[in-house]
Amino acid sequence: MSYRNGREKYGDDRNDSRREDDRRKAPEPRYRQVKSPATVEDQIEKLLSRGCIIEDMDHAVCALSNINYYRLAHYFAIFLETKSKYREGTSFEVVMHIYDFDRLLRSLLLLALEEVEITMRANISNYHALKYGALGYLNESSFDTRHNHKAFLKKLDRMIENNTGEQLVTHHMKKYGGAFPLWVIMELFSFGALNTFYSDMKIEDKRAIAEAAFDMPYRCVENWLNCLSELRNQCAHYNRLYANNLSSVPKQPPDMQRNMSNTLFDYIIVLKKLYPRSDVWNTAFAAKLTLLIAEYREVIDLSYIGFPENWEDILIDK
């Protein structure tokens, strides 16, 4: 065996050594300077230096030990007068009450969003399967021309792969060779995937579902699903809703004389429009929302989430 062949087969030790030297000499990645970590005591000192009033120091220590300072900073930011100074009278206890209100509000919204998501799964899968067949969703022709079917099928594969331990997946893999009827595979859909599926349907199909299930124009339903998908993501990731507008403006309902905006209140209007039953909405959501607001009324400002003075007249069906 020639030296050349031996070097190709086993590698050149000298080159390997040079490469190792190069790796050792490689410069460390350059990062911008970041803030140093701070102890709970440091965090409290920062709050005090900015004018925050802390009446119960033990409560503050406990809160900051269990909730990331960076997360709470989003709530303290509401009270900033300048970059490093809070408005006069800013209280740690008040900020924590607002934090708790926001947390409970997210939980309440998630329950209502769950009802809308399940209702939409049923309406979309029933309609599509009856018209195109149980596996019709695997056929590109059952969607609008803008639908990216290859990307859709890859997403379905990832859903199945990520849920291999679920009973519905193992059952259909064993008994049906991996053939999933639409009403089954849709149980794996996220709210965002459900929103995309509806958006990619043919216009006549979207119109039929929107009119039959909600008595609304399909363009409204399509837009509202997109808005609620964003709202669900905000709630699921524990993001601040109080004093924080969302990115999209919902389409105005045809039966409502109101200029819609990207406030939380208008997203709740959309949630109400897609909620399955108005009587359940009143008891399961609106009544609980009323109690939550009453409990925190002394520390919250409803205008920070877009609520008008007559919000109960709009959200509660008499």
Q: How far apart are the C-alpha atoms of 184 and 125, rounded to whole Å? A: 9
Q: Residue 86 is inside which H or E element, if any?
A: strand 85-86
What gap in Å lies between CA 23 and CA 26, rounded to an integer? Answer: 5
* pLDDT band at residue 9 under the 50/70/90 scheme: very low
Please determine, for residue 164, whether its predicted confidence score (pLDDT) is greater than 60: yes
What whole-number percentage of the chain has pLDDT above 90? 80
Lowest mean pLDDT among 1-5, 106-110, 259-263: 1-5
pLDDT higher than threshold 50 for residue 10: no
- Per-residue pLDDT at 17: 52
Mean pLDDT, the chain, rounded, equals: 90
| β-strand partners of 85 | 82
pTM metric for this prediction: 0.85
Closest CA to 234 of 222, 244, 224: 244
Q: 124 in helix, strand or coil?
A: helix
φ, ψ for residue 104, nearest 5 deg? -70, -35
Distance from first CA to last CA of the chain, Å, rounded? 93
- Taking the C-alpha atoms of residue 110 and residue 264, their distance in angstroms, rounded to an integer, is 13
**In the prediction, which pLDDT does 138 show?**
96
Tell me the mean pLDDT in the region 293-313.
96
pLDDT digits (tens, 9 = 90+) for 171-189: 998 998 989 999 999 999 9
Q: Give one DSSP letter per residue of 128-155, joined into a string.
A: HHHHH-TTGGGSGGGB-TT--HHHHHHH
* DSSP letter, residue 166: S
What is the phi/psi pair of residue 201, to 5°?
-70, 165
Per-residue pLDDT reduced to its tens digit, 114-136: 999 999 999 999 999 999 999 99
What band does 255 get if pLDDT is binned at 50, 70 and 90?
Answer: confident
